[in-house]
Amino acid sequence: MFERPQYSDNRSGPVLALLKANPLALVVTSGETAPLGTHAPVLFRHGPDGADEETVAEDGTSLVGATLVGHIDIRNPQWTAMREGDRALVVCQGPHGYVSPTVYGVTPAAPTWDFTAVHIVGSLRPVVDPAEVLEIVRDTARRLEADFGQGWDQESSVDYFRRIAPGVGAFELQVESVQTMFKLSQEKPAPMRRRIVEDFEGSESGTHQNLAALMRSRGIVGPGEEPEALI
């Protein structure tokens, strides 16, 4: 991904927040004739020296050296082709939305697409130990349920997890580089940014509403700004 300083933010806090809110990533590896890609949940496992997620997020430094974990179907050709030390690209897409020139209130104008994304490159380690695979499956289910579920307790299903774990191709990814794009109309004048945020907030799309909330949280539109005339 081509990074522009105006839109990039590689601090661990914003990157981890995007990963946690959007854990279904595209995992891309090299194949014999073409790249291989699979969508899979990818979660933070630990930072350098074993630091936990909260510590790494508060530290605010890069995620380089941290470890992510994921899993795919063991019958997937991508899993079959994985070797320790292979490099992979993990792509996470955050909230995004089309911006129509009608929102700007000026002419001439051109449309754009505001979006958020993280590209992570790292070194793979296929996980083959049955106990470790089971723990990854259980931890993934535990964390996704906590973030997106309704309080389901997995304890009554542990035996079922043990039965399905042999069909899981788990992997670790040690992070080597992180690239981000938080393209949120930062280049527009303040009153125009306000119109864009308010347009997303008025949309029926949850993705648009999440994008507007992110724009406000990142200070793209200040809470005290008045709807001044466009320049």
| In the chain, where the domains are located | 12-188
How would DSSP label each residue in 19-85?
HHH--EEEEEE--SSS-EEEEEEEEEEE-GGG--HHHHHHH----TT-EEEEEEETTSHHHHH--TT
Q: What are phi and psi of 104, to 5 degrees?
A: -65, -40
What contacts 31, CB < 8 A, 6 or more positions away?
Answer: 77, 78, 81
CATH 2.60.40.1180 fits 12-188, yes or no: no
pLDDT for residue 225 is more than 80? no
| Per-residue pLDDT band at 186 (split at 50, 70, 90) | very high
pLDDT at residue 25 in the model: 98
- Cis peptide bond upstream of 23, omega within 30: no
pLDDT at residue 223 in the model: 58
pLDDT for residue 220 is more than 50? yes
Long-range pairs for 36-42: beta carbons < 8 A, 24 or more residues apart: 36/77, 36/78, 36/81, 37/78, 38/72, 38/76, 38/78, 40/70, 40/71, 40/72, 41/70, 41/71, 41/140, 41/144, 42/68, 42/69, 42/70, 42/90, 42/92, 42/173
pLDDT for residue 29 is more than 90? yes
pLDDT for residue 35 is more than 80? yes
Q: What is the mean pLDDT of the chain?
A: 93
Provide the β-strand partners of residue 36.
29
pLDDT for residue 86 is more than 70? yes
| Per-residue pLDDT band at 230 (split at 50, 70, 90) | very low
> For a pLDDT cut of 90, what percent of the chain falls above it?
87
DSSP 8-state secondary structure symbol assigned to residue 155: G
| Per-residue pLDDT band at 113 (split at 50, 70, 90) | very high
d(CA 40, CA 61): 26
Could you give the residue ranges of the DSSP H alpha helices within the chain?
12-21, 53-59, 77-81, 130-148, 158-164, 190-201, 206-217
Do 208 and 177 touch, CB atoms closer than 8 A? no
Per-residue pLDDT tens digits for 50-67? 899 999 999 888 899 999
d(CA 208, CA 115): 10
Range from 92-96, 169-173, 222-226 carrying the lowest mean pLDDT: 222-226
Per-residue pLDDT tens digits for 38-47? 999 999 999 9
**Single-letter amino acid code for the residue at 176:** E
Burial (CB count <10 Å: 0-12, 13-18, 19+), residue 212: buried
pLDDT for residue 30 is more than 90? yes
What contacts 70, CB < 8 A, 6 or more positions away?
Answer: 25, 27, 40, 41, 42, 43, 90, 170, 171, 173
pLDDT for residue 162 is more than 90? yes
pLDDT at residue 222 in the model: 67
pLDDT for residue 226 is more than 60? no
